[in-house]
Amino acid sequence: MRITIVGCGAIGSRLAAAADAMSEVKRIYLVDIVKEIADKLANSLTKAIVVDSVEDELYHTDLVVEAANQETAKEIVPKVVSRGVDMMVMSVGSFVDDDYRRMVFQSAVEHEAKIFIPSGALCGVDGLRGASMEHLDSVELITTKGPKSLAGVKYLQDKGIDTMAIKEKTVVFSGSARDAVRFFPKNVNVAATVSLVGVGFDQTKVTIVLDPAATSNSHELRYKGVFGEAVAHTYNVPEPNNPKTSELAGLSATAALRRICRNEWFGI
């Protein structure tokens, strides 16, 4: 199997290292807007080479993994699936635009390409997926993060919120998943995943809490419907090289990559 990884940051580097250790993977193509970062990563691996763009090896790759950002995902996913190549998307918030999402998913069907979305830093998505086969009354996601995890968010800056100055637990956002993904593109990708699996971006309620005492990124997923009611609470350790995301996000991506490469599907 040949894999292209777009984005050589914390998650991309972890996935590249995992792929490098898999016997199923024969070649890894690395793409990053900063070529030096890709070169450094490639030099630490045995199966990796750096290419200038996704298109360079698209006819020779079996799977493209996006581990960059929403803008990059929106650009490359249509190109990949229209060539009939499978795609794993980490920046799930890129699917918040309904017309774009429908176009991409339809193209994937027409060209027999698969789109994989890992569960990310959130437990309970499997149950939500099953529960969504019948009517769901409500789906709510409550995310709690520390000041560093929410630092630099333009939405908060525009509202005059200094994350480092807040001294007590404070709700900094409450609204739809559509708005949460738009205003917090690097912080709540899980809200997009929950929306796609459950009741959609407009009907999914998201609350973001800033807690100066938080030592972990917390996600509480609540949903109820015909099946009954469920609550899944995940307390995540922040990813060492990127406190805006969680350690479990990287682990989930690695597990998804392994399942895809080995064609092993447990708990589906």
At 243 the pLDDT is: 67
- What pLDDT, on a 0 to 100 scale, did the predictor assign at position 188? 87
DSSP class per residue in 152-203: T-HHHHHTT--TTT--S-EEEEEEEHHHHHHH-TTT-HHHHHHHHHTT-TTT
- For the four alpha carbons of 61, 62, 68 and 71, in that order, the dihedral sign comes to positive
Residues annotated as catalytic are 219
Least confident of 38-42, 134-138, 209-213, 247-251: 247-251
Alpha-carbon distance of 145 to 219, in angstroms, equals 9
Q: What's the pLDDT tens digit per position in 206-245?
A: 999 999 999 888 999 999 999 999 999 999 987 777 766 7
Computed over every residue of the chain, the mean pLDDT equals 94
pLDDT of amino acid 177: 97
E runs forming strands in the chain: 2-6, 27-31, 48-50, 63-66, 86-89, 115-116, 136-145, 170-176, 204-210, 217-225, 228-236, 238-239, 242-246
Give pLDDT tens digits for 142-160: 999 999 889 999 999 999 9
Q: What is residue 96's three-state secondary structure?
A: helix
Quote the tokens at residue 190.
């899980």
Return the percentage of the chain with pLDDT > 70, whole number: 99
What is the 8-class DSSP label of residue 151? T
- Starting at the edge strand found earlier in the chain, the sheet holding 136-145 runs 170-176, 204-210, 136-145, 217-225, 228-236
H helix or E strand, kind and range, residue 258: helix 247-262
Identify the band that residue 98 occupies on the pLDDT scale cut at 50, 70 and 90: very high
Q: How confident is the model at residue 76 (pLDDT cuts 50, 70, 90)?
A: very high
pLDDT per residue as tens digits for the range 179-216: 999 999 888 889 999 999 999 999 999 999 999 999 88
